[in-house]
Amino acid sequence: MACCRFLSPSFDNNVAREFHWSGLADGPGHKLKLSGITIMRFMMIVKSTETSGMPPKPLMDAIGKLSEEAMKAGTMIGSGGLGPTALGASVRLSGGQISVTDGPFTEAKEVIGGYAQFELTSKEEAIKSAVKFMELHKELWPGWEGETEVRQMFGPEDFPCNG
C-alpha cells in the first residue's frame, strides 16, 4: 500500500504516443508518432473578477473550436467552466477545525472561472497554449481582464514518502 496521498500513476510519462494533426501536408488525420518523449501534464487555471459576466458567444464558439482541435491532437485531456461562487461552498481546515462556508465568497477579488488539463512536452508549449487562449479573449471580449495560470501537475513519485 502506498504511503503517499496520490493514487494515480505518474503525470510525467516517457511514452510512445500518437498525435492526430489536421491540415498538414499529408492531409487531415495525419499521424505523427513520438517515441521516448517525456509528456508532462499541465493545469491551466483561468481567473478573473466574478463581475465580468458571461463570455460573449463568439468567444465561447472560438474556445470550443480551440478545445476541439486540442482534443483531436490528443493534447487536451479535460476542461470545464465553473459556476458562480454563490452556488459553491468553501471547506476549510484551520486550527484543527473543519468549517464549511456557503458562497458567495465576498473576500475573493478574483475567482477561478475555468480550467483545462493538457499533456504537453514542455512548459514552453503550455505557455504558448495559454497565450493563444488569452489572445482569443483579447480579440473577442474587449475590456475583459484576467489571467491564465499555468501549473505543472505532479504524481506520487514526485513526493517521496518519509518512511
4-56 pLDDT per residue, tens: 443 333 344 444 344 443 333 333 333 334 556 788 999 999 999 988 888 99
Per the omega criterion (within 30 degrees of 0), is the bond before 156 cis? no
Q: What percent of the chain has pLDDT over 90?
A: 61
By residue range, what is the domain housing residue 123? 41-154
CATH number at residue 51: 3.30.70.1060
Q: What is the chain's length?
A: 163
Count of the separate structural domains present in the chain? 1
Range list of H helices, the chain: 57-73, 123-140
3-state class (DSSP) for residue 104: coil
Q: Is the link from the previous residue into 104 a cis peptide, with omega within 30 of 0?
A: yes
d(CA 40, CA 100): 34
Considering the domain boundaries, does residue 2 fall inside one? no
Q: Which residue shows C-alpha cell 508549449? A: 125
Residue 48 lies in a domain: yes
Identify which has the larger pLDDT, 25 or 137: 137
In a domain, 66, yes or no: yes
Between CA 42 and CA 127 the distance in angstroms is 10
pLDDT digits (tens, 9 = 90+) for 140-158: 999 999 999 999 998 776 6
Does the predicted model carry a pTM greater than 0.85? no
